[in-house]
Amino acid sequence: MGRVKDGEEYVELVLGLVERIPAGRVMTYGDVAEYLGAGGPRQVGRVMSLQGGGVPWWRVIRADGRMLPGHEARARAAYAREGTPLRGEDRVDLRRARWEGLLPGDER
């Protein structure tokens, strides 16, 4: 686990990455932390819970693929609209929907 950057800077990094996740794709909280090289799933979850309402929050999910408790109906509607692959009614199919963090032409 990498060192957590200054709080405001970390929030901006997390939210900026979430905004880049393409429609129909997802990252886990741990994926976001790993991509940023800082924090961990809990830190990402805290950012999302406190300040993630303005970004496509449904694209950041738990490691087991389950939808955010209490927000399943809104998430399910977003997944249907975006064509996100699901496993049953309450899980995203991570094998098919996981995004590695690169867009065409991006370098990391």
Q: Which domain holds residue 92?
A: 7-97
Work out the angle at residue 27's Cα, subtended by the Cα atoms of residues 108 and 38, and round it to the nearest 5 degrees: 55
Q: State phi, psi for 48 to the nearest 5 degrees.
A: -65, -40
Q: What is the largest CA-CA distance in the chain?
A: 39
Residue ranges of E strands in 10-99:
27-28, 60-61, 86-87, 91-92
Q: How many domains does the chain have?
A: 1
Mean of all residue pLDDT scores within the chain: 91
Given a cut of 90, whether residue 35 has pLDDT beyond it is yes
Does 102 reside within a domain?
no
**% of the chain exceeding 90 in pLDDT:** 81
- Give this prediction's pTM: 0.88
What CATH number corresponds to the domain at position 69?
1.10.10.10
Does 105 reside within a domain?
no
| Residue 40, SS3 per DSSP | coil
